[in-house]
Amino acid sequence: MDRDGARPWDGLIPPEEIEVYRRAGYQKRYGLGRKPALLVVDVEYNFTGLPGEPLLESIARYRNSCGPMAWQAIPSIARLLRIARDRHVPIAFTHGVSRPDGVRSPRNGTDIVDELAPRAGELVLAKEGASAFFGTSLVRHLVEWGVDTIIHTGCVTSGCVRASVVDAAAYGFKNAIVEECVFDRARVPHLANLFDMDAKYGDVVSLQEIETYLSEIEGVSPRKGQRSVEVGT
């Protein structure tokens, strides 16, 4: 939500601890640039399970599933994808590397969910580490595209999203973490990590805020090249 209004972690982080962060110089706006890319991290069946299943049933099949929290976020990610495509914003997806003991039925665990299926010209990277940057060519593509800002979506908030945000900040990119478009398997680590990323590495923003931001971007270059699939090492 707007920084002057309610924040997602309100009620979780005590006011006196928030004041410590504020006096230390955190909890400020980092700001966004003018050349964004959209990053969709690991929204694959291993982390979503199947739609409509309770969480404990879902993790019985896909042990890393976030269940209902994933399926609550997916329509928001799909909405943001449509806007990014309309604005010719570069888009990159990541997913895990398929392993011999991985789940393959009823859906292959490392497949990106159908609702967010990548299109031709959108970068798709297979990765083995937590960060979307580790062992992949992501940063090279972002530099080629002239990107200065990464819009982060996907999962999990406390793991691969956070690792990607930290690495993006280290590379000098500005970060937007879209509140409705990231998810985890449990609420407390999700909210705590939103708070910490917002304090140190970027701006946690609402979907409405990022839609307004994208509507005001001028001169976004069309995506170049064809869809690419790579394996991180």
What structural domains and CATH numbers belong to the chain?
32-97+106-189+208-231 (3.40.50.850)
State yes or no: cis peptide before 68, omega within 30 of 0: no
Instruction: Look up residue 161 and give its amino acid.
Output: V
DSSP string spanning 10-23? TTTS-HHHHHHHHH
Over range 84-108, report the average pLDDT: 92
Catalytic residue among 66, 155, 160, 181, which?
Answer: 160
DSSP label at 4?
Answer: T
Evaluate whether 125 touches 136 at the Cβ level (below 8 Å).
yes
User: Exposed/middle/buried for 223, CB within 10 Å: 0-12, 13-18, 19+?
Assistant: buried
Instruction: Give the torsion through C-alpha atoms of 169, 172, 174, 177, to 10 deg.
Output: -20
CB atoms within 10 A of CB 138: 26
Q: What is the pTM of this model?
A: 0.92
Q: What is the pLDDT of residue 227?
A: 46
Average pLDDT of the chain to the nearest whole number: 92
pLDDT for residue 150 is more than 80: yes
pLDDT for residue 232 is more than 50: no
Q: What is the pLDDT of residue 220?
A: 54
In the annotation, is 181 catalytic?
Answer: no
Nearest to 42 by CA among 188, 204, 140, 182: 182
Please give the share of the chain, as a percent, with pLDDT higher than 70.
Answer: 91
Quote the CA–CA distance of 152 and 158 in Å, as a whole number: 13
pLDDT in tens, 173-204: 999 999 999 999 999 999 999 999 999 999 99
pLDDT for residue 4 is more than 90: no
